[in-house]
Amino acid sequence: MNRILHPGLAGYDHDIFSFRKATEPRGWSLPEDARIGICLTIVLQHFPISEKPAYPVPGMLARPWPDIGSATQRRVGLHEGLWRMLDALEARGGLPVNFVIEADALPMLDELRPQITAPQNCIFAGGRNAALLHGPHLAEAEEAAVIAGVATELSDFAGRPVTGWRSPSNAQSPATLRLLAEAGFTACGDFNNDDRAYPLHAAGHALWSVPMPHTVSDLHNIEVSRQSAAHYFEAFSAGAGWLAASQEPGPVIIPIVLHPWITGTPHRIGAFEAALDSLMARGDTRFVTAADLVAGEMAATSTARDM
């Protein structure tokens, strides 16, 4: 595990990442110098009916076995809910998004593979399934095997190396970051503390944190907090308005994390479509992927080093 530091020292009480303020200049820009980058992540999950997470997490199958009702409600996220969201993105010129995919969902996605793995999209490994959480309950060898297996299956599905990871429910063990780095992953979407990409300290390996926070997700805001889809999505448009005019150095990134079993339902998809149209109509906004954010930060780091 990364070191826990003495509480008397300045900075963090750990060495997982370093402090950075949102007021610091980015050192890079989006195409056409767009002010705002929308980093949209869609999480595709598999909920095994006979497994429970090691501890309670949002969205889990929580009723007694067999929780067929909840399980089938979640499966909407791999067919109709997902179809609606893919159609919405395609109808708007094929907006680039991140797909976080749990490996056990892959067999259900074969028909949609061309759309999901389209070149503009960024594919992230989402772990094994929604019930297999990473944590101290996993022996390190077992966790390493999970990571390795998922990496292979996702890369085969994508037809290209998959080097990004977002753990089921953002859960980690003390060894997760090191194991990810040792397995060749270069980006991790588990941290909820920044809208920008930033470097993580992972046993000397290069590993970037990318913004896929639970705090901005439909899972937290709609499923758990019971907000309406209209209010949830309209809030991002309102936020874009404030951020566009703010003093915060650009590009300002707005991450949005969605689950098709939530947003893809018939009563919510319209709000999602309206949000896409509202954000696109602004004229100062561009949809970006996690890979774009890392590339930008790397370019800025390289420029700074060359100065």
Partner 1 sequence: MPRWPFDLKKQGNTCMTDTLDWPLSPWPRRDAAPLRWPDAARVAFWVAPNIEFYELVPPSNPVRAAWPRPTPDILNVSARDYGNRVGVWRCLEVFDAHGIRGSVSLNSAMCRHFPEVVAEFTRRDWELFCHGDYNTRYLFGRSRDEEKTLIADACAEIAAFSGRPVRGMLAPALTYTANTFDIMAELGLSYTLDLFDRDVPYRLSSRYGDLVSVPYQIELNDFHALTAQGMSGMLYLDKFRRHFDRLYAEGEHAGRVVGLPLHPYIIGLPQYIWVLDAMLAHVRQHDAVWITTADQIADCFKAQTGEAA
Q: Does 163 bind partner 1 (CB under 8 A)?
A: no
Q: Does 221 bind partner 1 (CB under 8 A)?
A: yes
Going by C-alpha positions, the residue among 126, 243, 119 that lies closest to residue 180 is 126
Distance CA 200, CA 160 (A): 24
Candidates 62, 72, 203, 242: give the one binding partner 1 (CB under 8 A).
242
**Alpha carbons 46 and 15: distance in angstroms, whole number:** 33
Q: Which is nearer to partner 1, 171 or 183 (CB)?
A: 171
Would the CA dihedral through 55, 56, 61, 67 be positive or negative? positive
Taking the complex as a whole, the smallest distance from the CB of residue 223 to partner 1 amounts, in Å, to: 10
**Measured distance CA(300)–CA(288) in Å, rounded:** 17
Give the range of 83-91, 104-112, 144-152, 209-217 binding partner 1 by CB under 8 A.
Answer: 209-217
Report the residue from 27, 48, 94, 135 that binds partner 1 according to the rule CB under 8 A.
135
Return the closest-CA partner of residue 73 out of 216, 269, 257, 223.
223
Q: Which of residues 21-40 bind partner 1 (CB under 8 A)?
A: 21-23
**Cβ-based nearer residue to partner 1, 106 or 177:** 177
Q: According to CB under 8 A, which residues from 175 to 194 bind partner 1? A: 190-194
210 binds partner 1 (CB under 8 A): no
Return the H-helix or E-strand segment holding 146: helix 140-158
Query: At CA 233, angle to CA 131 and CA 133, rounded to 5?
Result: 10
Site for partner 1 in 62-101 (CB under 8 A): none
Residue recorded with tokens 């501890």: 55
Give the shortest CB-233-to-partner 1 separation in angstroms: 9
- CA of 108: how far to CAs of 26, 102, 105, in Å? 40, 11, 6
Nearer to partner 1, 81 or 213 (CB): 213
Q: How far is the CB of 172 from partner 1 (least distance, A)?
A: 5
**Consecutive H or E run containing 124:** strand 122-125
Selected binder of partner 1 within 99, 157, 165, 236 (CB under 8 A): 236
Count of residues interacting with partner 1 (CB under 8 A): 60
Q: Does 206 bind partner 1 (CB under 8 A)?
A: no
d(CA 113, CA 106): 9
Catalog residues that contact partner 1 under the rule CB under 8 A: 1, 4, 7-14, 16, 19-23, 54-56, 135-137, 169-174, 190-195, 213-216, 221, 224-228, 231-232, 234-236, 238-243, 246-248, 254-255
